[in-house]
């Protein structure tokens, strides 16, 4: 059994504790005849994978308690795994979802870190100065590079802190580990959160692997 989270840019695979990714532009090369369970926000990429492999798409199978209209399947599965707390998936966009004992209370979306940096560069050439990954949020910036790095990080970190209050925070996605550094306690980095949600559903619904 292989699990696959299909995003805008990558097929994210999981098999027996191992995770890897392949661009959605190409066709992943996998051992034939192995069933692939998918969660997808990319219909085209799912369709292409399904033509070559034995795919069971779980995207619409989740019994998920929310009033949110249009929640991506990836967000829903990560929240389903977390069950309680805040789920932060940090990629080109950063989704922040609040769970309370299995109930999804709502969520919001921030631009991802790379999106912030690109947006500064587009405003003015003077702001196209790169990003200081080791910016310190405890000291006010004294130059342009620090000013945009501090601005991006205090915006992202502040928004997540405001929303999380004292809840436990699960960080996932490409920038999850970097973001987690700004949160001392009550947080964890888990790159397999979506896959854990998929496995939870597969067990509960007794899907044939």
Residue with the two structure tokens 């597969």: 202
Residue 77's CB is within 10 A of a number of other CB atoms, namely 28
Active site annotation includes 74: yes
C-alpha 189: how far from chain center = 11
Subset of residues 107 to 136 that bind a second copy, contact rule: CB under 8 A? 107-112, 115-116, 118-120, 122-124, 126-127
CB of 85 to a second copy, least distance (A): 14
Subset of residues 159 to 178 that bind a second copy, contact rule: CB under 8 A? 159, 161-163
Does the footprint of a second copy cover residue 80 (CB under 8 A)? no
Burial of 172 (0-12, 13-18, 19+ CB in 10 A): buried
Cβ-based nearer residue to a second copy, 93 or 189 = 93
Residues 74, 79, 85, 86, Cα dihedral to 10°: 20
Strand pairing partners for 36?
2, 55
Annotated catalytic residue, options 74, 97, 146, 175: 74
Burial of 69 (0-12, 13-18, 19+ CB in 10 A): exposed
CB of 156 to a second copy, least distance (A): 7
Q: Which are the catalytic amino acids?
A: 74
Residues making contact with a second copy (CB under 8 A):
8, 41, 66-70, 72, 92-96, 98, 105-112, 115-116, 118-120, 122-124, 126-127, 139-144, 146-148, 150-152, 154-156, 158-159, 161-163
């Amino acid at each position: 059994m292989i699990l696959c989270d299909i995003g805008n840019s990558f097929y994210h695979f999981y098999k027996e504790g191992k995770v890897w990714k392949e661009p959605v532009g190409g066709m992943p090369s996998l051992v034939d005849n192995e069933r692939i369970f998918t969660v997808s926000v990319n219909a085209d990429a799912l369709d292409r994978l399904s033509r070559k492999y034995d795919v069971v798409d779980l995207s619409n199978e989740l019994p998920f308690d929310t009033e949110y209209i249009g929640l991506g399947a990836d967000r829903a599965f990560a929240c389903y795994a977390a069950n309680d707390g805040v789920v932060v998936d940090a990629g080109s966009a950063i989704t922040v979802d609040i769970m309370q004992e299995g109930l999804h209370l709502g969520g919001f979306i921030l631009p991802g870190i790379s999106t912030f940096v690109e947006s500064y560069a587009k405003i003015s050439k003077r702001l196209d100065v790169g990003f200081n990954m080791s910016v310190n949020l405890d000291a006010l910036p004294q130059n342009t590079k620090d000013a945009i790095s501090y601005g991006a990080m205090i915006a992202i970190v502040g928004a997540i802190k405001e929303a999380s209050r004292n809840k436990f925070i699960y960080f996932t996605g490409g920038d999850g580990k970097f973001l987690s550094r700004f949160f001392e306690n009550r947080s964890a980095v888990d790159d397999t959160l979506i896959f854990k949600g998929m496995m939870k559903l597969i067990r509960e619904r007794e899907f044939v692997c």
